[in-house]
Amino acid sequence: LITSDEPPTLHLVLTPARRLRSAADARTRRSPSPWRPRVSHVLIVESAAKARTLQRYLGGDWAVVATGGHVETLPNDRKAHGKDASKAFWANRAGELPSPPWVWTDRGEDAVNAILEKAGDDPTFWIATDPDREGEFIAWSLKRRLEEHGPTHRVTFQEVTEEAVRAAVAEPRDVDDRMVSSALVRKFLDRLVGFRTSKMANGIVPGRGNSMGRVQTPTLGFVVDRELEREAHVPIPYFEVRAAAEGVDVSVRFHEPDDPDAWRDGADKVHPTRTFDADLAEGALETLSAAGEVVLTEVRSGKSSRRPAAPFSTDALLQAAGSRFSWSPRKTSALASQLYEAGHITYIRTDSTRLADSAVEKARAIGGEVWGDDHLGPSSAGASAAGGPVQDAHEAIRPTRLEVEEAPLDDDDARRLYRLVRAQTLASQMAPSQTASRRIRAACAELDRPLTGSVSWRTFAGWEAAYQEFL
């Protein structure tokens, strides 16, 4: 509006400018909202739950976007991908990995479009996919798709905390080509082995969608070998006679190790309280029942100690939850992911049992404060994964904040799993528990065989004090 009495005033209506992209991107990119917010920094993760947690830590000039997993895959649909779907990608020159064409996953194109829609005119992309082989492959895929739109950086962190993510952004790195190559080999093996064996599985196993790959195929071989061994096993029957005397369990000792009639298991180990002789066992039972008592003839005192277990690796956590809670590996993995993505535990895929120095110091401080310095063991950061750097870039699974006793989640099972992880971490820095024992030998008047048993009790809790809920 221009008037003669006022200086010129210019009124503009601004609309966000769209950056030029490649023809392929232009065809697949969704139309943006005319008033969508733009940011200078886009942090890219795999999980939506993790994205929500991280968004709270970063300022308004950041957007955290989740891909939901992989964005690229090998062609696998003849109708959509033509001859590329059945091409032998593994047929390549010796010493070189194949270089196949890559296609979008079901959600990959939408995920990349969502990232671009969040970006401003001069964006920087921070790729924070999981710090494992698959995460590195996803980072490799994203970098190829995004680097024409702005600088891309690879960042990794072991825990979903503000301190960890800011430290990672302060020290970005390149995509690890060795880890990408490892992921590629795994994918090629899945295609080479899995496509063929999956057809066989679908032909033999009822139902649809049966699949196999590089892991399932040799595993099936192990199962078959074990089943054949089981079918060939010849059971070795035996008899035992036990009694309870003043609350102490005792067993008749039928044979000594040098007795040719001693019962031996498949490993040729002698079990003195077992016998092949049914008549001998029946007679011992009748004699004990008629006597109604046994006489203590010998007592041997002893003591023992139990060292705490190491902090959890992935397989140890799955086994512990399975044995204590009867959870399937799938359930435990889902709960662990929930805890990790909410920032309560460190990365959950690891073969290592080592802890960061800061975690060791914190665990020992809590152990000394709660149970006393006498309950602390030698300071130990734990061991790396056996056999070299196999997922050893990661710590053991531990709480990100050991002082937090209960994870603030609505899921009872998730809270219970958190308490288990915390107890294991604290216990790993504590002293061995101490136990006193008495090995006893008894006799029955009309029985020509001795009876043996033992009783024990804890004299010092040590690490078991931190583990009491799960003993």
Residues that are catalytic = 347
User: How far apart, in Å, are the Cα atoms of 128 and each of 69, 149, 293?
Assistant: 12, 17, 71
> b vs e for 380-411, b when ≥16 Cβ sit within 10 Å of the residue's Cβ?
bbbeebeeeeebbbbbbbbbbebeeeebebee
Instruction: Give how far the C-alpha of residue 303 lies from the chain's centroid of Cα atoms, to the nearest Å.
Output: 35
Sole residue written with tokens 């102490």:
248
What one-letter code names the amino acid at 448?
A: D
Integer-rounded Cα Rg, in Å, for the chain is 32
Nearest Cα to 182, choosing from 396, 393, 336, 395? 393
Record the tokens describing residue 23, joined without a space. Answer: 């023809």
Main-chain phi, psi angles of 113, to 5 degrees:
-60, -40
User: How far apart, in Å, are the Cα atoms of 470 and each of 82, 255, 316, 422, 463?
Assistant: 55, 38, 15, 11, 12
Question: Which stretches of 105-221 are assigned E, i.e. beta strand?
Answer: 119-127, 152-154
SS3 358: helix
Main-chain phi, psi angles of 303, to 5 degrees:
-150, 155
SS3 34: coil
Q: Quick count: other Cβ atoms within 10 Å of Cβ 431?
A: 23
SS3 145: helix
Alpha helices in 190-313 (DSSP H): 195-204, 216-232, 278-291
Q: How far apart are CA 352 and CA 32, in angstroms?
A: 45
